[in-house]
A and B are shown apart, each in its own frame.
Chain A
């Protein structure tokens, strides 16, 4: 007799429906499995036989054939166990065929019959919903992430016995409604109020958050570059439902979701120069997401930016333009999103003290040039805001001045985001940093005064066209923060302070 049970195979974050076709016939005990299977699936027959036996069910004298269709898709992972086991149980008459109509089974089975958690439950559930399935059976420990999916009956099972009981009892199950309120309360353990002084840096980060601009922090060691960067997430707008799903998806694939933890914060991913290319951009035989995808919708913090090898930095160039990474490998070709805000931090020179007022730099000019030469023009051009961070005076540390909290800043940021959402309603972008040249022309209208002002600047600072566009983008965000419809001269004048490449390291005459 043949029974067909549905399950989902993942390719990147996209799921495809896979049918587990299980056939049992009398004959010499034998087990056959086909359908382009990875090692972990081939091993599943051992797990399933033992688990069924340990659940008190007899499985003797049967010839078992299993086909996971469509056969052209390569299948990896242990999440198919449950579907195959259910197929066998139907054949044995323990589960009724009618009970599993329009249901999807996901889970790994252990020898004891327990159902173990698997990676990628969230994207699988989403795929199930998309393909019109009404119910999913998932491991108990994955319930948290699955609960994000709306309008789906979610049944979590702890063991094979539990599963059989739940299927046969026919208790109606209510459709899941993701309780987004659970995600509303966001608490950070850091706050902007903890930063003393650094007025300019704070303002710059406000602009970064409001317009999603990339940012490069330059400063001597120990002045708080990392500290400032870490607080950037606290002023980013709160996540909405779609964003939570998107972030959870990546975490789900990598198995990073925790049982009692909900993801409601933007990711802050810190990478250091020693990271391998594969863990940076993603990779492996079956391409898995790397740090850049983990940072999707959040912040990628690259400390010691100038120490990264040029290969990674040049990769970054492309990524910053496309907001996605395509990984082509032998077994699969996957596209992952990586729409992050880049926060890069570096010292101004090898010794770290160039331009500092406390210590004198001991580097020669050639040494500094060599250090900075890693940052090719194109990569620096893609970073809208360049920011100098200098040391705080002692008097600042114990001043009883009222310092703004992250929450207050976030309110302004969210306002500015709203303005942008309205403006870009007809475009397929959300923030100022994503504007292309024609959009800049359209949305950064300049009056005569601004034009002549920009011309002066263009000549004085010897700008190129890309820097010019960057300045306009920042000016647009500043105007949005001020709730001005038009960019005026004061917005542009402020924007220029966040472009330091012309005065950073060079002693002009």
Chain B
């Protein structure tokens, strides 16, 4: 059944009833599967190997980096990334998957005409442009209601083979998702965090509970009996990057933790104008990344 909605004339939303063949089998295993599934974009993705990446909306630099890394390498291995189109980890996972010719699925917690959060409308459009897929349990006019979010998480975990949790606070939505995944018998992967980090409480607790601690993509693939891990050599080896000797001095001061420009200047013992210049060069060539507050971090 194809309906052209007045508000979004040019785009097509397909409604799949649970009795139809196209309905994902995984969802039927749920206690109460959605009766109708509203889908826009590439339907075939639903039958692919899917891994969910979830995490904090207000993620740290560490989470940002790990989400990018795992999403990228998983996509390169032909795995489809599913997430919830929220801010933070979700957005990064979607984006990185798309940037690496991977496909990605977003599950909405509201109707198609009420993308939440509004900032991610652009991302929503981008996913569809890149032949990705967006699904929702709710009719297009359904308003945003946070009560629906755990339900959305349930669909995410149901569609995925496993769930990777990157940074989750104490009793956060991501923890709920992981617990749902445990209940559904899915594999749960967690990236360990610093035990002092607030955003690590959830993930570390999940590891205690039996989630698999992962440090690289290989760990995930092994667990899923997929050993063909491609491009693992290229897996984020920043050490091998050839930084020109001119900038090496400054580059080596910048680590994986964000560092302030004034501190860099002091440690490099160079005039600030030279440091500024070199930082721009390094950033332009994507050796480092600038963060708010004049902080810099290695890519």
Interface positions of A (Cβ within 8 A of B)? 197-200, 202-203, 219, 348, 354-357, 360, 364-366, 369, 388, 390, 392-393, 396, 456-457, 460, 478, 490, 493-494, 496-497, 500, 503-507, 509
Q: Does B290 contact A (CB under 8 A)?
A: yes
B295 neighbours in A (Cβ, 8 Å): 355, 357
Within 8 A of A (CB), among B83-111: 87, 91-92, 95-96
Q: Does B226 contact A (CB under 8 A)?
A: no
Q: How far is the CA of A392 from the CA of B58 in the complex (A)?
A: 26
CA distance A500 to B290 in the complex (A): 10
A493 touches B265 (CB 8 A): no
Name the residue among A199, A203, A356, A357 with the largest chain B CB count within 10 angstroms.
A199
Bound Cα distance from A500 to B280, whole angstroms: 12
B residues within 8 A CB of A497? 261, 276-277, 279-280
> What is the CA–CA distance of A219 and B281 in the complex, to the nearest angstrom?
24
20 sample A-B contacts, Cβ–Cβ < 8 Å, listed by A number: A198-B262, A199-B272, A200-B265, A200-B272, A203-B273, A355-B291, A355-B292, A357-B258, A357-B260, A360-B198, A365-B119, A390-B262, A390-B294, A478-B273, A493-B277, A493-B281, A494-B273, A497-B261, A507-B64, A509-B96
Tell me which residues across on chain B come within 8 A of A390, comparing CB atoms: 260, 262, 293-294
Distance of B283 from chain A, by nearest CB (Å):
8
- The answer for the CA separation of A369 and B119 in the assembled complex, in Å, is 10
Provide the bound-state CA to CA distance between A506 and B88, in Å: 11
Decide yes or no: A503 and B290 within 8 Å by CB, A393-B263, A490-B277, A494-B280 being known contacts. yes
* Chain B residues near A460 (CB-CB < 8 A): 284
Beyond A202-B272, A355-B292, 15 additional contacts (C-beta under 8 Å) are A200-B265, A200-B272, A354-B292, A355-B295, A360-B198, A365-B87, A388-B292, A393-B263, A478-B273, A493-B284, A494-B273, A497-B276, A500-B294, A505-B292, A509-B91
Binding site for A on B (CB under 8 A): 58, 64, 68, 87, 91-92, 95-96, 117, 119, 198, 258, 260-263, 265-266, 272-273, 276-281, 284, 290-295
Verify B92–A357 contact, CB threshold 8 A.
Answer: no
Chain B binding surface SS class: helix
Query: Once bound together, how far apart are the Cα atoms of A477 and B86, in whole Å?
Result: 43
Q: Please name all residues of chain A whose beta carbon is closer than 8 Å to the beta carbon of B266 when the two chains form the complex.
A: 197, 199, 396
Inter-chain CA distance A369–B118, complex, in Å, is 12
Query: Is A493 a contact partner of B292 (Cβ separation < 8 A)?
Result: no
Most buried by B among A494, A505, A506: A494
CA distance A369 to B290 in the complex (A): 20
Residue of A nearest to B293 (CB): A355
Q: B119: which A residues are within 8 A, CB to CB?
A: 365, 369
Tell me which residues across on chain A come within 8 A of B276, comparing CB atoms: 200, 203, 493-494, 497
Cα–Cα, bound, A219→B262 (Å):
14
B262 engages A348 (CB within 8 Å): no
A359 to chain B, nearest CB (A): 11
Known: A478-B273, A493-B280, A509-B92. A199 touches B291 (CB 8 A): no
Distance in angstroms between the alpha carbons of A392 and B265 in the assembled complex: 13
Please give the distance in Å from B97's CB to the nearest CB on chain A.
11
Q: CA of A390 to CA of B91 in the docked complex: distance in angstroms?
A: 28
Q: Which residue of A lies closest to B123 (CB)?
A: A509
Would you call B294 and A388 a contact (CB within 8 A)? yes
B87 CB, min distance to chain A CBs, angstroms: 6
Q: Whose C-beta in chain B lies nearest to the C-beta of A395?
A: B266
Contacts of B262 in A (CB 8 A): 197-200, 390, 392
Contact of A509 among B95, B260, B273, B279 (CB under 8 A): B95
Which residue of B92, B198, B284, B291 contacts A457 across the interface (Cβ within 8 Å)? B284
Chain A residues within an 8 Å CB radius of B96: 509
* B258 proximity list for chain A (CB < 8 A): 357
Do A357 and B293 have beta carbons less than 8 Å apart? yes
Q: How far is the CB of B100 from chain A (nearest CB, A)?
A: 12
Query: How close is B125's CB to chain A, nearest CB, in angstroms?
Result: 15
Question: Is there contact, CB below 8 Å, between A503 and B291?
Answer: yes
CA A473 to CA B75, docked complex, whole Å: 44
Query: Which of A202, A396, A478, A503 meets B292, CB within 8 Å?
Result: A503
Nearest CB in chain A: distance from B272 CB, A: 4
Complex contacts, B281 vs chain A, CB 8 Å: 493
A369 to B87 Cα, complex, angstroms: 14
A369 CA to B263 CA in the complex, in Å?
A: 29
The chain B residue with its CB closest to the CB of A365 is B87
A450 to chain B, nearest CB (A): 13
With a CB–CB cut-off of 8 A, which chain B residues contact A457?
Answer: 284
Chain A residue nearest to B87 in the complex (CB): A365
A357 proximity list for chain B (CB < 8 A): 258, 260, 293, 295
Chain B residue at minimum C-beta to C-beta distance from A507: B64
Cα A219 to Cα B290 with chains together (Å) = 16
Known: A390-B260, A390-B262, A393-B263. A496 touches B292 (CB 8 A): no
Most buried by A among B263, B266, B278, B294: B294
Cα A199 to Cα B292 in complex, Å, equals: 17
Given contacts A203-B276, A490-B277, A496-B280, contact A388 B293 (CB under 8 A): yes
Tell whether, in the assembled complex, residue A348 and residue B277 are in contact, meaning their CB atoms are under 8 Å apart.
no
